[in-house]
Amino acid sequence: MQLTRFTDFGLRMLMYLSKHDRATPITIAEIAGQFDVPHNHLIKVANRLGKLGLVKALRGRNGGLVLAIAPEIIRLGDTLRGLEGDVPLVNCEDPPCALGGRCLLTGALRAGLDAFYACMNEYTLADVSTGGTEVAIVTMHRNYLANLGVASHH
Amino acid sequence: MQLTRFTDFGLRMLMYLSKHDRATPITIAEIAGQFDVPHNHLIKVANRLGKLGLVKALRGRNGGLVLAIAPEIIRLGDTLRGLEGDVPLVNCEDPPCALGGRCLLTGALRAGLDAFYACMNEYTLADVSTGGTEVAIVTMHRNYLANLGVASHH
């Protein structure tokens, strides 16, 4: 049982953005480079996060992505559910299960999934973006700017 | 986020076996046929369930698999954890994450996973193998025997 890569990349994007405010929009190219993930994939992730109301794209010469709301009010359970979508924990259709439609397991697994999201809602994006995580992200961004030949403002 | 097919097949096997006692061992071939899953895959699943102490193989002419303990004491959380193994919810190594080892998200996800298993432990195998599920399994087994040309004892 693993989160989809789509969700995984969404979380990395949110954590990275959480350390930068509206004055420092971050390009998808920067995030793609930092995490070594495909640029096209991240565009889809950014679109989903935009639809969830978590991320905004600022246009213009120094445009890029910013968080749409403060990391202190971004709950991880709701965020994960929005990224994962309403997909059940077992795929009863592949191969089609002979118990399909008469299986009590489905309800039990749905309760377990709800418990997972409820627990994750006890954490905000801010909670998981402090300490060593914060230091790492700030350093990554500084190194990115240095490699661009741009003076860092940090 | 989905359970592995390995786990999915393990659950189906346990549910199927839960409706038959030691007097009616069930062959892997029967389960493979009923759920239309590869026989070789189910052998590995049965081995894992055997190591977990949930399933036993009875030898001999009418041999096959039986539950090693009563379905009323098989808790789904422990069972799922045993089938899934100790795999984290995100793969920090593929691609290797720049935050690896400094990421607070990992701990939060581990807490969420624990909450999931704790909730699933509120259910036993017996809980999810009653009602329509039980009727379906009993019917499947009866049809299987009929197709073999063997008189059903149900």
Q: Which of A35, A108, A130 sits opposite B97 (nearest CB)?
A: A35
Quote the pLDDT of residue A102.
Answer: 83
B40 touches chain A (CB under 8 A): no
Assigned token pair, B41: 């895959």
B136 touches chain A (CB under 8 A): yes
B98 touches chain A (CB under 8 A): yes
Q: Which residues pair with B124 in a beta bridge?
A: B75
More confident residue, A123 or A154: A123
Q: Which of B1, B114, B127 sits opposite A84 (nearest CB)?
A: B1
B153: confidence class by pLDDT, cuts 50, 70, 90: low
Q: Is the pLDDT of residue B53 over 90?
A: yes
Asked whether the beta carbons of residue A12 and residue B99 sit closer than 8 angstroms, the reply is: yes
Q: What average pLDDT does the segment B26-52 reach?
A: 95
Q: Is the pLDDT of residue A150 over 70?
A: no
Q: What average pLDDT does the segment A36-41 reach?
A: 93
A152: confidence class by pLDDT, cuts 50, 70, 90: very low
Chain B residues whose CB is inside 8 A of the A140 CB are 98
Quote the pLDDT of residue B154.
Answer: 47
Chain B residues whose CB is inside 8 A of the A136 CB are 98-99, 102-103
pLDDT digits 0-9 by tens, B102-148: 889 999 999 999 999 999 999 999 999 999 889 989 999 999 999 88
Q: Which domains does chain A have, with CATH numbers?
A: 5-148 (1.10.10.10)
Write the DSSP string, chain B: -B--HHHHHHHHHHHHHHT--TTS-B-HHHHHHHHT--HHHHHHHHHHHHHTTSEEEE-STT-EEEESS-GGG-BHHHHHHHHH-S--SS-TBTTBPTTTTS-THHHHHHHHHHHHHHHHTT-BTTGGGSHHHHHHHHHHHHHHHHHHT-----
Q: Is the pLDDT of residue B49 over 90?
A: yes
**A85 CB contacts (<8 Å, ≥6 apart)?**
none
Q: Is the pLDDT of residue A89 over 50?
A: yes
B30: left (phi over 0), alpha (psi -120 to 50) or beta: alpha
Among chain A residues, CA nearest to B140: A98
Give the integer Cα–Cα distance in Å for A139 and A134. Answer: 8
Quote the pLDDT of residue A60.
Answer: 86
pLDDT digits 0-9 by tens, B57-71: 999 888 999 999 999
